[in-house]
Every structure is written in structure tokens, then in C-alpha cells.
Amino acid sequence: MSRRIYFRLLATILLATVAVAEAQQQGKIPWIGYLAAAGSGPAEAFVQGLRDLGYIEGKNVAFVFRTNEGRTERNADLAAELVRLKVDMIVADGTNASLAAKKATSTIPIVMVSITDPVGTGLVASYARPGANITGLSNVSGELGGKLLELLKEVEPKLTRAAILRPAARGAAPAGGAANDLFIKETEVPARALGIQLLSVMVGGSDDFEGAFRTITKERANGLLMRLPAFVYSAGQLKRVAELAAKNRLPSIANATRWVDAGGLMSYGADPNFSYYRAAMYVDKILKGTKPADLPVEAPMKFELVINLKTANALGLTIPPIVLMRAQRVIK
């Protein structure tokens, strides 16, 4: 065998070896299924959290993103699709998405984000010992009703009747989902203590906004708890709701900052970006071998109060200094 042929043969073998090694390495890239209600990809804070831990999309991690486009009844099919695709892990954004993921698989690890009452909904056995194949982060939004009413009462002492604007049923999905059911239940007791009556008003979509506010006005509500999910409705739709609230002289509060950005009066809730960032740490630990059952469910560690002074002025309200001092952001 000539030296030229020998070296060509050796080079071919080396190239083949490298190709196989690269293919094996690519085969080890974990595929993360991400189930959400809206968007075109995983939450930016989640992706950034993974980057800070050394994960780069396409290099050592890949995403399979699925969105129900605001239709919670699609979650079951989407979760089943992720299972069929044999993803290595599922990140479920929201309570309904997490319930669908848990029903779809008992073996693939699930990291839930922005969950309301994970114990009460049966997602986990307990915060400290979630059990099974699921863990993640709770947003405690269902338990925040009393706090939202307290804040609304501080800026509007005459508050006696608060309307809860929530989504109606869609297909086979429960009306407003588990999160809103829990919210109303948990808000009833503090409402009575504050001398406030609650009025539940449902909307099926943007075409129902006008009718919903006619009902709210007819029932003489003088405050609004906004429970329409900001991740389902567009900025323009949220702005329309805020305009109707202002037109009807209703001070309002929600647990999502997008409501204030759209023109609502106030928001108070867990910082979602912080929760998404923390979710990346759960993913990292599970990929490195920790079982979901051994990772306690984490409650929010960072909350934020946001106030829109423009809206307050339009409503003729003066925000007490003690409330302004507690705000993390004020829109002037």
C-alpha cells in the first residue's frame, strides 16, 4: 500500500470517527417541550436563565414549543403530542397546561411555572415533597384576592362592591380554569372582612366586553378585579377593557403588570420574569440527575406593585403616599 493511499485511508477513518462522535453528541442534546397559552417560543427570562447556566439552544439544548393560542381545551392534545415526540422534559406554563401535562405522562419530568394552588389542584402531594414526576414554581395568584382588595380599598375607601372580570368556559375547559375558581373561593372571606360584596362577571371574548361592563354598571359595582389573562388578550384588547373601566369610573387592580401598562390602575403579584428565570434552575437540576419528586415546589420570592398615576388622575383618585412608597414602579 502506497503512503498516499495509507494517509487517505487514515484521514477517512478519522473523519468518520469525528462524524460519529458529533452525531452521538448531538443525540445527547436534551429536548425540552414547552407548553404555553401564547407566544412564539419559551419565555425570554427562562431562555436567559438557561443561557446563564451554560445552555445554548441548538448546541446543548433544544426546544419543542407548543401553544394553545388561548384555548385551554387544546392543552390535552398538545401535551399528548409532546409525549409522542419523546421530549426529555416538559415545561408547563400555567395551571391548566400543567394539569394536561401531568395527565399525559407519569414518567417524563415536568417543570411547572406560574401555578395556582398546586396542592389543591392535585398537581403535587405537597410543596415540600411534590412526589411523582412534577415540580416547579407556584405564583400564589389564587390566594392574592384579599391583598388585591386591600390595596383597592386603600385607594378607594368607598369600595363596597367589586366585580371580578374573568374568562368564561371554552369548549370542555372549566370556566376560567382552576386558577379563577380558587381565586374567587379564597377572596370571599377577606371580602366579607372588608365589607365588600363580590360580583363574578364572565366574558367569552372581546365581543363581550361592552356587555360585561353594562352588567357591572347595572349591579352598581364600584371596583374591578381584573382576571382576564394578559397572556391571552392582546395589548389592544386590554387597553379597551381599561378604557371601559375608566369610562365607568372603576378603580381596578390585577396581578399582571400588563394590565397597568394597558391603562389599568394597579397591579400586584409575583414577578413573572423572576419565576421563569428560576424555572431554568429546576430544568438544570433535573437534567443533571435530580428527580422532580426531590425538588420542593417554590413559592414566589419577589412581588411587585405597579401604579398608573395617569389613570388615578383620570379617575379623580389620590393614591395615599404609603401606597406609593410600596410601589416598585409608578407610571406618571
pLDDT tens string 180-223: 777 888 899 999 999 999 999 999 888 999 999 999 999 999 99
Does 214 reside within a domain? yes
Residues 152 and 55 in one domain: no
For residue 3, being part of any structural domain is answered with no
Task: Tell me, yes or no, whether 246 and 111 share the same domain.
Answer: no
Same domain, 275 and 265: no
Residue that is written with C-alpha cell 411523582 in the block: 132
Angle between helices 44-52 and 272-287 (to 10 degrees): 40
Confidence of residue 177 (pLDDT cuts 50, 70, 90): low
Q: State the pLDDT at residue 10.
A: 41
The verdict on residue 58 lying in a domain is: yes
pLDDT value of position 262: 96
* Residue numbers of the domain that contains 233: 142-269+304-331
pLDDT tens column, 230-265: 767 888 999 999 999 999 999 999 998 999 999 999
113 strand-pairing partners: 93
Q: How confident is the model at residue 174 (pLDDT cuts 50, 70, 90)?
A: very low
pLDDT, residue 37, reads 86
Domain assignment of residue 2, yes or no: no
How large is the average pLDDT for residues 110-133? 91
Q: Does 63 share its domain with 172? A: no
Round to whole Å and give the CA distance between 101 and 109: 10
In a domain, 215, yes or no: yes
Residue with cell 368556559: 169
**Residue 77 and residue 83: Cα distance in Å, rounded?**
10
Amino acid at 87: V
pLDDT surpasses 90 at 117: no
Say yes or no: 127 and 38 in one domain: yes
**Residue 130: which CATH number?**
3.40.50.2300
Residues 40 and 100 in one domain: yes
Is the domain of 248 the same as that of 171?
A: yes
Domain count, the chain: 2
Q: What pLDDT does residue 95 have?
A: 87
Containing 25, the helix (H) or strand (E) segment is helix 3-27
261 and 220 share one domain = yes
CA separation for the pair 49, 15 (Å, rounded): 36
Query: Are 218 and 247 in a shared domain?
Result: yes
For residue 273, pLDDT over 80 is answered with yes
Residues 134, 209, single domain; the answer is no
* Residue for grid cell 347595572: 218
* Residues 179 and 309 placed together within one structural domain of the fold: yes
Q: Are residues 248 and 289 in the same domain?
A: no
Residue 175 confidence class, pLDDT cut points 50, 70, 90: very low
What span, in angstroms and rounded, lies between the C-alpha atoms of 70 and 232? 5
